[in-house]
């Protein structure tokens, strides 16, 4: 019988690479997203709506034991605290943090019953270091790291592991959208900004979604059965500086 993995936000970027990686490894993968995708079994879901998330995951859990949850759905937001309206702060937290809360809460009853499970939360290098012009995003990613650690401690007795993956600058559609927005505001040249971003990484390049997916797969596997409550950094050495 195939193992079952749920991925939130699996229709593009890192999430899509994760869906594809787990499919390649023989998992049955359910993708909860607003935007349809060809990879995995798509379930349209607004991750900010807790009851909707619970309903969809419960429907899946009624038919399948859920082995892995990858809470990946998220948005980027660039602004200082002064330039962050309350509505935008709520939007960032509803998607990045409340979405993880809803998905984790929904998979736990089944994982507790089977006394096994792996939960991977997509945090960021910004859970470890601050970056300028990133108040709300930084705050949300630090919260996700905390969620992984507290969940790991609360459910270790059920053999449920929880870890956070903390990517640095990864070349995804979200990355390009952020760069485009910056260039539109500042008038900067995109090629130059892209080159500068790569140069900020000790390895001299940006990370790729497939590399993050490999780490997520490892954390979900039995090879990582003694790893829980950790923040797994994949940032080309950025936070080591």
Mean pLDDT of the 74-89 span: 96
Q: What is the pLDDT of residue 141?
A: 98
For the domain with range 4-169+208-234, which CATH number is right: 3.40.50.720, 3.40.50.880, 3.40.50.300, 1.10.1760.20? 3.40.50.720
What would the pLDDT profile of 96-119 be if each residue is shown by its tens digit? Answer: 999 999 999 999 999 999 999 999
| 50 vs 106: CA distance, rounded Å | 9
**Domain-by-domain residue ranges, the chain?**
4-169+208-234, 171-206
pLDDT at 71: 98
Say what the pLDDT of residue 178 is: 84
pLDDT at residue 127, rounded to an integer: 97
CA distances to 49, 61, 69, 98 from 101, in Å: 11, 17, 12, 5
The overall average pLDDT reported for the chain is 96
Catalytic sites, residue numbers: 137
Average pLDDT (22-31) is: 98
Mean pLDDT for 16-42 is: 96
pLDDT of residue 177: 86
Cβ atoms of 164 and 148 within 8 Å: the answer is yes
pTM score above 0.75: yes
Q: Per-residue confidence at 124, pLDDT binned at 50, 70, 90?
A: very high
pLDDT at 51 over 90: yes
In percent, the amount of the chain with pLDDT more than 90 equals 92
The reported pLDDT for the residue numbered 4 is: 98
Lowest mean pLDDT among 30-34, 193-197, 205-209: 193-197
Contact 50, 102 (CB under 8 A): yes
Contact 7, 31 (CB under 8 A): yes
Please tell me the total number of residues recorded for the chain in this structure: 241
What is the end-to-end Cα distance of the chain in Å, rounded?
45
Position 1 pLDDT exceeds 90 = no
pLDDT above 90 (res 208): yes
pLDDT digits (tens, 9 = 90+) for 146-201: 999 999 999 999 999 999 999 999 999 888 888 888 899 889 999 998 899 999 99
Q: What is the rounded (10 degree) CA torsion for 144, 141, 14, 85?
A: 120
Strand 117-122 relative to strand 231-234, pairing:
unpaired
- Cα-only R_g, the chain: 17
Residue with tokens 């995708």: 37
Strand 231-234 versus strand 68-71 pairing type: unpaired
pLDDT at 79 over 90: yes
């Amino acid at each position: 019988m195939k193992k079952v993995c749920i991925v939130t936000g699996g229709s593009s970027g890192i999430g899509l690479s994760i869906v594809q990686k787990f499919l390649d490894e023989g998992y049955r993968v359910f993708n909860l997203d607003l935007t349809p995708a060809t990879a995995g079994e798509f379930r349209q879901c607004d991750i900010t709506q807790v009851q909707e998330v619970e309903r969809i995951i419960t429907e899946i859990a009624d038919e399948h034991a859920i082995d892995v949850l990858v809470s990946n759905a998220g948005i980027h937001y660039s602004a200082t605290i002064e330039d962050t309206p309350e509505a935008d702060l709520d939007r960032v937290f509803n998607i990045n943090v409340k979405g993880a809360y809803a998905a984790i809460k929904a998979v736990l009853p089944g994982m507790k019953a089977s006394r096994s499970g792996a939960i991977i939360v997509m945090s960021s290098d910004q859970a470890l270091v601050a970056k300028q012009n990133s108040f709300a995003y930084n705050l949300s990613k630090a919260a996700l790291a905390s969620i992984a650690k507290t969940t790991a401690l609360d459910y270790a007795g059920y053999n449920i592991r929880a870890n956070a993956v903390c990517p640095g600058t990864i070349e995804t559609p979200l990355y390009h959208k952020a760069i485009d927005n910056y260039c539109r505001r500042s008038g900067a040249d995109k090629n130059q900004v892209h080159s500068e971003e790569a140069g900020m990484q000790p390895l001299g390049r940006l990370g790729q979604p497939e590399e993050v997916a490999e780490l997520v797969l490892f954390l979900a596997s039995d090879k990582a059965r003694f790893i829980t409550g950790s923040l797994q950094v994949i940032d080309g050495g950025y936070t080591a500086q």
